[in-house]
A = this chain, B = another copy of it.
Amino acid sequence: MSSFDQDDLLKRLRRIEGQVAGISRMVADDRYCIDVLTQVSAVTKALQSVSLKLLDAHLAGCVVDAAREGGPEAEAKVKEASDAIARLVRS
């Protein structure tokens, strides 16, 4: 995996996991829909930040390393990154 702050990412993911558990409790407690929706939007944004951190690390790590080596490996890595970006933009 490319170099990035693994602890930071794990901390964010644990927080997201807790937020999702909290949303489950809100639904089980029949809480007002709009309040639940507000929490879901917050989790979506938190996930976006995780994705962007992963992508930054991947570009700066794997893609740059492959570019230096050149040839089909570089093209494959760039295509792979582009496809991941497309999935992210369309999700």
Contacts and interface: CB of A to CB of B under 8 A. Distances in A.
A73 B63 CA distance: 15
Q: How many copies of the shown chain assemble into the complex?
A: 4
A6 B33 CA distance: 12
**For the side of the interface on A, what is the size category?**
35 or more
A34 B63 contact: no
Given A13-B23, A27-B10, A68-B68, A41 B45 contact: no
Given A17-B20, A27-B13, A34 B58 contact: yes
A4 B60 CA distance: 23
Nearest to A62: B33
Given A34-B81, A63-B63, A47 B48 contact: no
